[in-house]
Every structure is written in structure tokens, then in C-alpha cells.
Amino acid sequence: MKKILTILGARPQFIKASVLSKILLERGEFEEILLHTGQHFDDNMSQIFFEQMKIPKPRYNLGIHGKHHAQMTGEMLTGIEAVLDKERPDIVLVYGDTNSTLAGALAAAKWPCKLVHVEGGLRSFNQDMPEEINRIITDTVSDLILCPTNTALDNLKREGLDKQPKLMVVCGDIMKDAVINFKPIALQVTTLLKDHSEIRLPFVLATIHRQENTADKACLENIFSALEKLQETYTVVMPLHPRTKAQLQKFNLNPSIVMIDPVGYFDMLALLDQCELVITDSGGLQKEAYFNCKPCVIVREQTEWVELVEKGFARLAGVNTQKITEAVAYFETAKLDYTEQIYGSEVGEKIYTALKQI
């Protein structure tokens, strides 16, 4: 039986991994070991999180978080290498574009095993973003690259990776499987909307957390100016990221919108189910908005998920107050057809099939 070491570092990666982990356990052809680097310390990843979502607890937790990029990645490399030496897996599997992804990829590349990258080929074409560097390096050293879209595959071919001895497969976006699996459960168990009487319909769901948006006072002022204007028509609800909270306090900004504590995945699914639209700088939430049939205003200049913009489900607005409010106004009357399967279906099964080929 082949052994897979799956390296995870953030709650969204655990949610994605839960889909494939379930399939691996049911089929019984691979032994999977989970390693949590600890990159994102998340109070919402309690024992209940693992029990409700039927996610196996990690065998290893390196507890590495709250450090600068280089120090964090270096410590992760050391910790992952020790686990590789102990477990000697046949396959190392990484998700997405975090520092944990990069550390796992670099460690595996120097070990006699195969490296698999789920969510490969995504590009924002902005190398000022640490995530972009992580994606490029991880794809470069991977043996199996699992692409969510044909656009992602085209990116890899443009970089010449198809000329190397790699297997590249378009399998769709595994987060879609997660939404389908967990949304019915989430709507049964969540009490968020009952617990927060200040959240009134219709509401807009907003999340802001990226460093390029939060580090600059002018950027934050522009973003929250737009949200305050929208508050005249909607309730604007923001689960407040700790970084954003700290920066608002630093710059003495007190926006008059509904700000709540960070929420768990089930509560976020409930918010997505009930909101009118989403305003975000998160990559993952752009897709989750689409999976929940909600338009999205992207508070960035680029996105990895270009299909959402090309097909009209999302609009790039940057941190321009007017562009943000104009994008919301556009979506108020836009007729969007969510029946097209732009991110595939039964993605976990396709990934499992691809794993058996290496």
C-alpha cells in the first residue's frame, strides 16, 4: 500500500483535503498521514470542527505560526524533513499556495518520493504576491499537477512545464465538492444569523485581509468608504480578520458597518447562502461565492480565478471606492446563469484516479 503524506497549513486546506481524505479512506488503496504545519492558528479549528466535518486529526502538528516568511518556511522545511525521514512516504501531497505548500514542495523535491500539487497552474501574474511565488515554485518541482481549469493548464504549458516529465491533469476545483458536501449540514447546525440580530436582510458579505489592502491607510479608507456607502442600502456584514482589526485600530478608523468575530466554515456557508453578494480580497471566497450562486466584487487588481471575471460572475474593482460601488450596482440588475460547470464536478474522484497513475 502506498503512503501519502498530506501537508496542510490553513483551515481552507483542511476543508479541501477532507474531500479527498474521505475517498482515500473508503478505497483503502493508500495510507494517508496528515501533517499540520500550524501556519494559521485558527480558534475555529476545534475538536468540533474535525468531528462535524469528519476530518481526521493530523498525526503531526509542527505548531509553526506567527513568524516572517523566511523563518516560517525554514522551520517548516526542517520539521517536514524530519517527518519524511520517519514516515518515508511514496507521495507528498500539497494544496494551494501557502508557505506550508512551498515548504512541503521543497522538502519533497529533495526526497525520493512523488510530489502532487492540488490547485496547480493558477496565476495572478503579480509576483509581488507571496502566493504567486509559492505557486510557481511548487508547480516547477511537482510530479503531478492537478489543475482546476483549462486556463491553469494553459499557464503551465506557457511556462514550458509540459515539456518536462510531469503529469498534468485538469480535474476541477475540489472546493466545489466541499461546498456540496457540507452546506446541507451547515444550514442545519449554524445559529449565526439567529445569534446576530444586527444582521438584517438584505445584506452584503464582505471580507478584507490581504496585507496589500490592510497595510496602507489610504487603501483601507477607500475600501471602507465604499462599504459605508453600501450600508445605506444594505447591511454590510464583515467577519473581521485579526490583521484588519489591528490595522483599523492603528489608523483610528471606525467604519459604520456590522463587524463580527471571525466565523467557522459552517457559519460562513450560512452567510454565503443568505447574502445578496460578496465583496472580498480572498481567493477562496471568490469561488465559494460562485458555488453559492452569488456575484462577487473582488477588491484586488488581479485574480487567479479569471473565469469568474471572464464569464461575468465577478468584477475586479481594486481599492477604488467608486469602482466597488459601481460593481455592486451592476450586479443588482445583472442576469447571471450559474448552471455552467466552469469548475467541474466529482473533483475528488478525478484526483483519486490521477493519484493512481503515479
Helix (H), strand (E) at residue 168: strand 167-170
Task: Retrieve residue 65's grid coordinates.
Answer: 505560526
Mean pLDDT for the chain overall: 95
Mean pLDDT is lowest, of 51-55, 160-164, 255-259, for: 51-55
Straight-line distance from the first to the last Cα atom of the chain, in angstroms, rounded to the nearest whole number = 13
Domain ranges of the chain: 2-173+344-355, 182-333
- Once rounded to an integer, what is the mean pLDDT over residues 235-256? 95
Distance CA 185, CA 350 (A): 24
Is residue 213 pLDDT above 90, yes or no? yes
* Residue pointed to by grid coordinates 446576530: 196
Report pLDDT for 304. 93
Q: Which CATH number fits domain 2-173+344-355: 3.40.250.10, 3.40.50.2000, 3.30.420.40, 3.40.50.720?
A: 3.40.50.2000
What pLDDT shows up at residue 234?
A: 97
| Res 245: pLDDT | 95
Q: 202 pLDDT exceeds 90? A: yes
For residue 46, is pLDDT > 80?
Answer: no
> In this prediction, what percent of the chain has a pLDDT beyond 70?
98
Identified catalytic residue from 36, 40, 117, 209: 209
pLDDT interval class at 41 (50, 70, 90): low
Q: In the prediction, which pLDDT does 24 show? A: 96
Which long-range contacts does 248-256 make (Cβ < 8 Å, 24+ apart)? 248/220, 248/224, 251/217, 251/220, 251/221, 253/217, 253/220, 253/221, 253/224, 255/224, 255/227, 255/228, 256/228, 256/231
What pLDDT sits at residue 43?
A: 63
Q: Tell me, what DSSP letter sits at residue 207?
A: E
| pLDDT for res 42 | 67
Per-residue pLDDT of 169-199, as tens digits, reads 999 999 999 999 999 999 999 999 999 999 9
| Angstrom distances, CA of residue 25 to CA of 4, 28, 290 | 12, 5, 29
What confidence category does residue 52 fall into, taking pLDDT thresholds of 50, 70 and 90? confident
Asked whether this chain's domains 2-173+344-355 and 182-333 adopt the same fold, the reply is yes
pLDDT tens-digit readout, 271-329: 999 999 999 999 999 999 999 999 999 999 999 999 999 999 999 999 999 999 999 99
Q: In angstroms, rounded to a whole number, what is the distance separating the alpha carbons of residues 172 and 149?
A: 6
Is 209 catalytic? The answer is: yes
Tens of pLDDT, residue by residue over 136-163, are 999 999 999 999 999 999 999 999 999 9
Instruction: Write out pLDDT tens, residues 67-114.
Output: 888 999 999 999 999 999 999 999 999 999 999 999 999 999 999 999
Q: What CATH number does domain 182-333 carry, 3.40.50.2000, 3.40.50.1110, 3.40.50.1820, 3.30.200.20?
A: 3.40.50.2000
Provide the pLDDT confidence category of residue 56 given band limits of 50, 70 and 90: confident
Span of 37-51, 225-239, 270-284 with lowest mean pLDDT? 37-51
Q: What are the pLDDT digits (tens) for 13-29?
A: 999 999 999 999 999 99
Q: What is the pLDDT of residue 141?
A: 98
- C-alpha 167/C-alpha 164 separation (Å) is 9
Q: What is the pLDDT of residue 160?
A: 97
Model confidence pTM above 0.85: yes
Residue 146 vs residue 129, higher pLDDT: 146
**Distance separating alpha carbons of residues 173 and 157, to the nearest angstrom:** 19
